[in-house]
Chains A and B, each alone.
Chain A
C-alpha cells in the first residue's frame, strides 16, 4: 500500500478508536496527494483492454524514468523508456526492453520480476518496487501489442461523442452521460437529486461563497416552474459576490499578498489588481482575454479608450505578485533570478499544469521539458525594467497610478483651474502693471545713485600675479596665473570726515587679454571667489585697523551650487562662481557692511578677495571697485540677516501619517514650545538624552537639502533672522514630506503631504518682521522615501531690486528682450503686487490640493518591457551566478510551436497559451473549475498534468469540457452553468454502502461530495449569518481583530519606525466585517484563522488547498473574537425577531444551514438553551461575553437571555452542517 493511502487509512481507523491514542494533528486530511493512483474501475481484475496512458505510463514514469527518462545526465545504460523508439531499441546487453507481443523476450519484465537483488529493477536502494498487479498490467500491455502513446495531456483534445448510458433519463447534459458511463462500468448508481434547501445552499456557497438567506430559500422552494433551478443559477452567477468567490481561488494561484514577503516583508499595494480580477469575473471576461491581459496586458496595442489601455496594464500585475526582497546585504542578481523563476513556475502551473520548476536545475526527470526549455520560457519574462532589491517603501518599479474615474476627473479639474489661473498670473494685470512702472523708475534710480567708483591706492597679489590699476580705475591682472590667489585692495573713503561707506561692489569685467575674455584667469574664464573680507584702516595709525563685518551679499548671477553667500560664509573652500564658462558677461557683486565705516578724517577700506578653491587659477582677471557712499540706503541694503541652520534629530514618528503629524511618536519632542539650543533630547522615552542641536552649514539656501533618508522620521531646523527695519520676507519652500514653520513660537505654516518630492516654490511663506532678532523654527517629517527640503528667501519688501533685475532696468524698457521683460514683471509681481500674490496663493492651494489627492491615488505594480531585451542564459544547476549558453525566448519543444512570423515575446506566449492549439490550457482551467465546484479536479493533481500527475478520473469528460469551453469562447460562466446544472452536481451527498465500498474516495461521483468550506467562506458565513457582514466590492485590504504581538514578535522593526507592516494596527468599524477575501495578507505572518483553515500563505503559487480537520479549527470557531462577536449578533438577530424559543431556534438553524430543524435537533438545542439560561441567569459573566467585539449590542435585550442565546448560536456556527457544504 502506498503511504499516501496508508495515511488516509490510518486516520480513518483512528477515528473509530477510543480517544487518547490517536495521533494529534496528523489526523484527518482528506485532500489527495500528488501520486498517480489506481483507477477504481480499471484496476479491478478482469478488465480487458490496457490503456497505455492510464495504466502503463504511470508505472514506468514512477519507477523507471528517473534513470531511463528524459534527462540524459542521469540516463543509465543508454536505455530510455519514455519514448516509443527507446523502449523497443536493442539493448547493449542484447535483446530489447519490450518486444511487442512477446512477454518472454521483453527484458523489462525479466528485470522487474527477478529475485536477484543485484539485477532487480528498480534498484533496491531506490526504495521503489513494482507491485504484482503492476507487473500483470505490463504483461497484458505487451501481450496486447505494446502500443506506446503520447502522454495524454500533450495530445490535442477532441470532443468525444456522448456515451450511451444505462439510464438516459438521468442525463441532464453531456456531463452526466460521461459520469454515468463510468458509474455503469463500476455497476454503481447515482444518488437522487438533493432537496431544494440543500441545492440552494450548495449553489450559493459554490457560486458566491455565502449561504442563502431564508427569503431566498423559501422563494426557491415555492418556485414550481421547470426553470426554477436554472433561474437560481443565473441569479447567483449575476451576483457581484460571484466575482469575489471566483477571485478567491485566483488570488491563491496568483500568489497575491499585501506585503513583499521575504525578509522585511513590508507593505505593498496590489489591491487595484485584485479589483480587476473581481470585476473581470463579474463581467465574465472570456478566459482567453483574461489570460492575455494578465500575462501581457502592458504589451497590447493602445486602445482608443485610454481607460481600457490602463486596465490592461493593471491586469499585467499578475506577474508582479511574486515576493520582492529588500534584505540588507542581499545580492540583487540573486533575487532578480528568483523573481524570474517564480514567474516561470507560476505561469507554467496556472496555465499549463506543468511542473516546469523541475527543469530549473536540470532536464526534467519525467516530463519532456529540458533545462534549455526552462530558460527559453524564462526569457519571456526577463525584460521587465525592475530591480533585484526593491520594495523598501511600498510598490517596486515598475508601477503605475490607477485613479478611479472620480479621482481622475477631480485631478483634471484642479489642474484646469490652476492652469487657468496661470494664464491670469502671466497676463496683463492693469492695477499691478501701473504700480510696476512707478517702481521701475524708483528702483533704477536706487541702483544708479549713491555709488562711487574708486581707484585703489594699492592692490597686492599674495601669490604673484601682476595687478595693474588702469586709467579707468579698473584693475587688470597679468603675468603668471597662480593656482590659488588672494588680492588685498586698499581704497580711500571718498568725501569729508562725515562721509561714510556702507557697502562695496566688485564688478568682474571681461577683457580681451583674458582667456575666453575672462573675467577669470582660468582657461575657461570662470571665477571662484571663495572669501571676501574687509577692514577699516585709519590713515593715522594703520596698526589700529579693525575688521568690518559683512552682513549681506548679492550678485547679479551665481553659478548653481556657488551662491554669493558662500563668499562670505567664513570658509575658504566654498565660494561664489561667476559661471562665466556658461554665460559670458560682466558680473557684479555687492557686499553690505554691518555698520557704515566713517571716513573720520582719513580711513581707508581694505578689501581682501580670496581665490582658494579646488579649481586652479579661478581668480579675477579684471575688476573694478565701487563704494556706496549714500548712507541713507544702508538700512534697505542690510537685508534681514539670516544665521546658519541648526538641526535637531531625526526622531522616529509613528508610521501612520495622521499620527505622525498629530504628535511625534513614540513620545513628544517639542522644541517648538521653547527653543534651547543647549538642550538634549532622547530618541526613545527610556533612552539617554544625548541628541542635541547641531550647527549645519551644509544646507545652503536655494538648493534641495538632502537629509539621511529614513522612513517615518522628523527633524527640526532653527535659525535666527535679524533686521534693522520692518520688512516682509518671502520664503520659497519645498519639502519631502510634511512641513511646519514657526516664527517666534507661532505656527505660521503647516502642510502635511505624503509622497511629495522636494521642489522649489511648493509653498510660499511670508515672514513679517519687526526690527530686531527673530527665531525661525522648521520641522520636516518624512513618511517614506526621500527626506529633504528646499528653502530660499525670494523677496523682501524692504529691499531694492536684486542686481539681476537692476541690471535689466539699466536698459530702457523698449529695448529690453521679452525674456527680460518677463523677468522684471515676474519679480515685481511676486515681491510687490498684492493682487498677484493673492491669486498666486489661490493657485498654489489648488495645486497643493491636487498634489495631496494625487498622492492618495493608489498604485499597482505592472509588467513592462525594456527597449533593449536582457540577454538570457541557461543557469547551470539553476543557480543565479552560474551562466551557461545564451538562449532566446521559446516554448517547450514537446508542445506546439509559437505561431510563425510572430515575435517570440510575452504577448505571443500569452496568445499561444489560449490559441486553442495548446493542448493543456483549456484542460487545466476547466479542471480547476471542476475542482472549485466539486472540491477536487477530474485530474486530482490540478497542479500537475505531467507524467507524474494523476490520471483523469473521467478523461473523456475532461476533453469534452475543454473543447466545449474553447468552442464557446472560453466563457467561464457558461462552463460553470453547465457543471452546476448537471444531474451529477444536483445529486444528494448521501452515501450508499455500495459506492462507499467500491469507490471510497468518490472518484466516480456516485454522490455529491461533502466538502468543508474554505477558510474565507467559514469566516464570511459566520459574519453573514449573524447580520454583521458589510459588503463592499473591492477596495484596500482591511486588518481584522488579531491577538496582540503576532507581527511584532516576528518583525524586523517592531517599532515600525523604518518599515511598514511591522506593527499591527487593527481597523475599526465597518472594515472589520468585510469579506475575508479583502483581509490583509502578510506573507511572513499569515492571519492565523486563515492559516489554520488551510489557506495558503501566498508566498508562492497554489492551485489546490489542503482540507484538514484539526482541534485548532475548533478553537477558532469557538473562541476567536470575530466568531464570538458573530454568535452574539446572530443571537441578537434571532432574539429581535418574534416567536417562541422553538421558532427562533428554527430560524437560527435555517440561517446557518438552510435546513428546517428536526424535532430531535430542536430538542437538543432547547436543552442547551435551558442549560445556558441557568448558567447565565443572575450572573455578571453574561456581560463579559456580550462585550466581545467592537460592534454595539442592542441594550434592550436581557443580558442573561442574550448570553444564553449567544452560546446556542455559537453551537450552531460550530456544527458540521454549518462548516460543510452537503
Chain B
C-alpha cells in the first residue's frame, strides 16, 4: 500500500476514535445518564462479565479434540494380559450387563482383541505408551495422563455433545462459549473462542461434527465459537469482495461511520455506537487474521518441529501451529477437532494413519509452547468423546476387524496451565473395561478445566428458563490431585 495513503487512513481512524473517546454528542450523554454504566465503568473493560473467581493457573486452553474416539487400549492403556487372552470371550463378570451399541449387540461372541501394537516405558516418569506415539513419548514428562475418564453415552452424537456441552441432548452452551462468557477475550481483534476442523486419514468419513459443539446455546450468541477454515476465507466473509481495495473499503467504512454517528446523535441509542465499533473491529480483523494465518514469519524449524504436514493449510499439524499463534495473541479457547478415530473396522491401519496425523504435531505444540514460556499459562488437552472396547468388532484374527464404542473408561491427557507434569492418574482393570481406581467423569474433567482458568464450575452459571444453568449440570468435582 502507498505509505502516504496508509498515513491518511490512520489519521482518519484516529479522528474517528478520538471523537468517540472524548465523548462528544449524545452518545456520551446517554452513557452518563445510565447509572448501570456509571457503576460498571470502574470495573475495567478487558474481561468478560464474570472475571475469574480466583487466581487462575491457565489463561487459555488449546483443546485437541480427537473426534470419533481413539482406542485407549492401543495408545495409552497397556494391557499385556489381553495379548495372552486374545480371541477368548470377554467374561460376563467383567461386562456385568453393561449395555452395548447396536453395532455389536448382535454379535454372538465378544472376543478379546489384544493390542497389535508394542508398548514401552518413556521418560523419567516411565509412562507406558504405544509404538504409535513416538513423539508423545518425548513429552510424557510434561503431561498428566488420565486413564479413568468415563461417560454414560455410548454413541458419537450424544457423547461428543455431552463432553463439549455437559448434556447429551443439544441446546446447551459449549465449553468455549462458557469461557468466552466467563472470561471474555484478551485480544480485541480476535474472537475469544476459535474452532478448527481437520479430516483424519484413518477414516475420512467419520464422524460427523455439528455446529452445536461450539455453539453458545442459551448464552448470547456472541459467545459461539468462530470457525477458522483451512481453505477460502479463514474466517467466513473476511475478504473484501473481488475488486475492492483496502482504501476503497476504508473510505466506505468512514462514510458509514459518519452517517451512523448522525443516527446516534438523533436517537441516543448506544447500540449505534456499538455498531460503529464492531465495523471498526471487522476492518481490523481483515488485517489481523491474514497476518495471523500467514506463516512467512515462521522459521524453518517450526515446520520441522510440527512435521511434514504442517505446511498444508487445513491439516491438523498446520492447525496446531495456528493454535500456538492464537495462544500467543491471547485467544481464550482454541479447539481443534480432528476427525477419523472411529475404528470399528480396519483398526490396525486406520489408527496408525490417525497417529501419523496427530502424534508429532500434538507433541510439537506442547514443546513449542514450553520453549516459548507459554505452557505455564496455557492448558493443552488431548482426547475424544469416549474409548473403545477391548472386545473385537468382527473376528479378532481378521485384519479388517476393529473395536466398538466404550464409555466406561478412556484416556485423556492434559499439559501446562496448572497441570502436574509426568503423572498418570487413575487406572483400569486388566481388561481395560472397568475403572479400577480414581474415576474421572467428563463433568469432573470439565470442572477441572474451568478450575485451571480460575472459574468455580458451580458459580459459572447463567439464568435460563428460571434456572441457573452451568456447564457441569448438577455434578462435577475438581480433580485436585492432578493440579500443581
Closest to A1128 in B: B241
| A83-91, A395-403, A630-638, A1211-1219 - interface stretch | A1211-1219
Using CB atoms, name the residue of chain A closest to B104: A329
CA distance A234 to B220 in the complex (A): 36
Closest CB of chain B to A1063's CB: distance in Å? 12
Evaluate contact between B271 and A1010: CB separation under 8 angstroms.
Answer: yes
Q: Kindly identify which residue among A997, A1165, A1203 contacts B243, using a CB–CB cutoff of 8 Å.
A: A1203
B412 to chain A, nearest CB (A): 22
Segment of B78-86, B230-238, B377-385 engaged in the interface with chain A: B230-238
Query: At the interface with chain B, which of A521-529, A711-719, A741-749, A1181-1189?
Result: A1181-1189
Closest approach, in angstroms, between the C-beta of A392 and any C-beta of chain B?
A: 13
Contacts of B35 in A (CB 8 A): 997, 1000
Q: 8 Å CB contacts to A: which residues of B47-63?
A: 47-50
Task: Assess the A1109–B245 pair: CB atoms within 8 A.
Answer: no
Stretch at the interface among A202-210, A665-673, A977-985, A1110-1118: A1110-1118
The contact string, 1 if C-beta is below 8 Å from chain A, for chain B 135-160, is 00000000000000000001111000
Q: Does B212 lie within 8 Å of A1099, measured CB to CB?
A: yes
A119, CB-defined interface residue at 8 Å: no
Residues of chain B in range 62-91 having any CB-CB distance to chain A below 8 Å? none
Q: B466, A1161: Cβ atoms under 8 Å?
A: no
Q: Given A944-B465, A996-B30 in contact, is the A1111-B36 Cβ separation under 8 Å?
A: no
Task: For residue B430, give the distance in angstroms from its CB to the closest CB of chain A.
Answer: 26
Shortest CB–CB separation between residue B165 and chain A, in angstroms?
11
CB pair A35–B463 under 8 Å, yes or no, is yes
Could you count the A-B residue pairs with CB atoms below 8 Å apart for me: how many are there?
A: 381
- State how many angstroms separate the Cβ of A1047 from the closest Cβ of chain B: 10
Bound Cα distance A943, B50 (Å): 25
| Contact present for A1000 and B34 (CB under 8 Å) | yes
Segment from B116-124, B272-280, B394-402, B447-455 that makes contact with A: B272-280
Question: B156 is contacted by which of A263, A331, A1086 (Cβ under 8 Å)?
Answer: A263
- Whether A1160 sits at the interface, judged by CB under 8 Å, is yes
A1165 to chain B: closest residue by CB: B255
Stretch at the interface among B202-210, B296-304, B317-325, B434-442: B202-210
**Interface locus among B262-270, B348-356, B417-425:** B262-270
Whether A570 sits at the interface, judged by CB under 8 Å, is no
Cα distance, A444 to B188, chains bound together (Å): 97
Inside 8 A of A1044's CB, which chain B residues have their CB?
231-232
Q: Is A31 an interface residue (CB 8 A)?
A: yes
Contact of A991 with B263 at beta-carbon distance under 8 Å, contacts A13-B37, A34-B466 already known:
no
Residue B475 CB within 8 A of the other chain: no
Name A1110's contact: one of B23, B39, B199, B222 (CB within 8 Å). Answer: B222
User: Do A10 and B215 touch across chains, with their CB atoms under 8 A apart?
Assistant: no
CB-CB under 8 A from A946, the residues of chain B are 466
Interface residue A1051 (Cβ < 8 Å from any Cβ of B): yes
Interface residues of A in 315-341 (CB under 8 A from B): 323, 325, 327-331, 338, 341
Q: Are A330 and B155 in contact (CB under 8 A)?
A: yes
Q: Is A1054 within 8 A of B45, CB to CB?
A: no
Q: How many residues of B contact A (CB 8 A)?
A: 123
Q: Which residues of B contact A413 (CB under 8 A)?
A: none
| Nearest chain A CB to B177 CB, angstrom units | 10
Chain A neighbourhood of B264, CB < 8 A: 1216
Interface assignment of B169: CB less than 8 Å from any CB of chain A: yes
A442 within 8 A of B: no
Task: Kindly report which residue of chain A lies nearest to residue B42, judged by CB atoms.
Answer: A13
Question: What's the nearest-Cβ distance from chain B to residue A999, in Å?
Answer: 11
Distance A1051 CA – B67 CA, assembled complex (angstroms): 13
* C-alpha gap A1182/B244 in the complex (Å): 8
Known A13-B41, A1054-B205, A1216-B263; contact A1111-B238, beta-carbon cutoff 8 A: no
Q: How far is the CB of A525 from chain B (nearest CB, A)?
A: 38
Which of A1049, A1100, A1168 interacts with B255 by CB under 8 Å? A1168
Q: B187 contacts which of A11, A24, A30, A1086 (Cβ < 8 Å)? A: A24
Assess whether B185 is interfacial by the CB under 8 Å rule.
yes
Answer whether residue B1 sits at the interface, using C-beta atoms and an 8 A cutoff. no
Which single member of B184, B260, B459, B465 contacts A24 (CB below 8 Å)?
B184
**Within the complex, which residue of B242, B270, B467 is in contact with A15, where a contact is CB–CB below 8 Å?**
B270
Instruction: Name the residue on B nearest A31 (C-beta).
Output: B220
Bound CA–CA A1175/B247 (angstroms): 8
Q: B96 on the interface (CB 8 Å rule)?
A: no
Asked whether, in the complex, the Cβ of A4 is within 8 Å of the Cβ of B463, the reply is yes
B279 to chain A minimum Cβ distance, whole angstroms, is 5
Within residues 106 to 146 of chain A, which ones have a CB less than 8 A from any CB in chain B? Answer: 127
A437 to B191, CA, bound (A): 89
Q: How far is the CA of A946 from the CA of B243 in the complex (A)?
A: 55
- A20, CB-defined interface residue at 8 Å: yes
How far, in whole Å, are A414 and B28 apart by their CA atoms in the complex? 73
The answer to whether A989 has its CB under 8 Å from any CB of chain B is: yes
Closest to A1157 in B: B259
Which residues from 88 to 107 on chain B have a C-beta closer than 8 Å to any C-beta of chain A?
99, 101-103
Q: Is A1091 an interface residue (CB 8 A)?
A: yes
Q: Does A244 contact B (CB under 8 A)?
A: no
Q: Is A468 positioned at the interface, with any CB of B under 8 Å from its CB?
A: no
- Residue among A14, A15, A996, A1176 with max Cβ neighbours from chain B (10 Å): A15
Cβ-defined contact, B242 with A1184, below 8 A: yes
Q: What would 18 A/B residue contacts be, using CB atoms closer than 8 Å?
A: A8-B36, A15-B270, A23-B47, A27-B274, A31-B220, A33-B462, A357-B465, A365-B467, A944-B465, A1049-B197, A1099-B171, A1100-B170, A1106-B221, A1108-B220, A1108-B221, A1181-B244, A1184-B242, A1207-B248
Closest 3 CB pairs of A and B: A948-B466, A9-B40, A1185-B243
